[in-house]
Amino acid sequence: MDVTSVAAYGTVLQNAEIAQKADVAVAKRAQDVQKILGEGAVQLIEESASISAERPPSSDATGQIISRYA
């Protein structure tokens, strides 16, 4: 293997390592986003339940559904 081949191989390895680190960073960001979205969804559900509990149901069926899941 000549010097040029060794240098090219080293460059390929460096690029692969950089790509792997970028993939890990993207995966961590995706997890962070999922966590934030999950927390937001929980907060939205809690707020909706709170509003529903404060307001009288418009029909008996609505009240039964709210009672079942609250």
Confidence (pLDDT) at 16:
94
Radius of gyration of the chain (CA): 27
- The pTM is what? 0.52
- The per-residue pLDDT for range 12-66, each reduced to its tens digit, is 999 999 999 999 999 999 999 999 999 999 888 888 888 777 766 566 665 666 6
Confidence (pLDDT) at 6:
86
* CA distance linking residue 39 with residue 67, whole number of Å: 23
Q: Are the CB atoms for 52 and 68 separated by under 8 Å?
A: no
For residue 69, name the pLDDT band (cuts at 50, 70, 90): low
* CA distance linking residue 48 with residue 44, whole number of Å: 6
* CA distance linking residue 5 with residue 17, whole number of Å: 18
Confidence (pLDDT) at 67:
65
pLDDT at 4 over 80: yes
